[in-house]
């Protein structure tokens, strides 16, 4: 199995755990920005489903060399299609969201051990599968934390997920030219601007 695959499954299982504790009255409550909790959960679930989808989409050449480059190339944070897909995914979760996520996890548990590294077609272009997986771990980590906060739940990411997501966040910051500022903030020497984000 590709090294990050085990961490992806760890992140997915933790997302499932948080999802199972979302209050039944919270689905239409505010989730993140103008998203509802359901839309946020749908978007987060796509970090699992896209892995399965992209494994079936081979690409001829590598266009994006790293997980950090994926975020620099896509600019997805401001793409309205992200919200459209998140809303659709939220609806697809149906009346029993945990059941849907259980099915995705079962498929991944059966697929990832057999998945060889390959070049796949992603939203940013052709990538090595091993380089794409950290982006899904990052999405699961960050948005599971978002979901926990929106629902007033205590969140504690698995250590392997926290480390992988944190590593990628610093890599993105470095690629953007913000690495020194982030390092100074992490060591208590400065404060990041209120609107700062690596994505």
CATH number at residue 122: 1.20.120.450
Question: Does 78 map to a domain?
Answer: yes
> Where in the sequence is the domain holding 53, given as residue range(s)?
3-158
**The total number of structural domains that make up the chain:** 1
Q: How does pLDDT run across 79-93, given as a tens digit for each residue? A: 788 999 999 999 999
Mean pLDDT of the chain: 94
HSE-up (13 A, CA, CB side) for residue 112: 24
Question: Does 129 map to a domain?
Answer: yes
In terms of Cα–Cα distance, which of 154, 120, 149 is closest to 50?
120
pTM of structure: 0.95
Strand pairing report for 35-36 and 30-32:
antiparallel
Question: Does 194 map to a domain?
Answer: no
All residues at 6 or more sequence positions from 3 whose CB lies less than 8 Å from its CB, including other chains: 130
Question: Does 128 map to a domain?
Answer: yes
Question: Does 175 map to a domain?
Answer: no
Is a pLDDT exceeding 80 seen at residue 112? yes
Question: Does 180 map to a domain?
Answer: no
Is a pLDDT exceeding 70 seen at residue 76? no
């Amino acid at each position: 199995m590709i090294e990050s695959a085990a961490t992806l499954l760890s992140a997915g299982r933790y997302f499932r755990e948080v999802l199972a504790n979302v209050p039944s009255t919270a689905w239409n409550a505010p989730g993140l920005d103008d998203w509802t909790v359901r839309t946020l959960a749908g978007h987060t679930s796509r970090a699992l489903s896209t892995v399965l989808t992209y494994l079936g989409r081979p690409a001829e050449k590598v266009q994006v060399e790293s997980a950090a480059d994926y975020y620099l190339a896509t600019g997805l944070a401001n793409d309205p299609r992200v919200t459209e897909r998140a809303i659709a995914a939220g609806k697809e979760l149906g009346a029993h969201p945990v059941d849907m996520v259980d099915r995705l996890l079962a498929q991944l548990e059966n697929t990832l051990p057999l998945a060889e590294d390959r070049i796949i077609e992603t939203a940013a272009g052709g990538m090595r599968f091993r380089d794409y997986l950290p982006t899904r771990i990052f999405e699961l980590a960050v948005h599971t934390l978002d979901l926990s906060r929106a629902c007033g739940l205590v969140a504690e990411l698995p250590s392997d997920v926290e480390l992988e997501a944190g590593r990628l966040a610093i890599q993105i910051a470095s690629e953007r030219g913000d690495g020194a500022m982030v390092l100074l903030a992490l060591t208590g020497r400065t404060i990041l601007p209120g609107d700062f984000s690596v994505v």
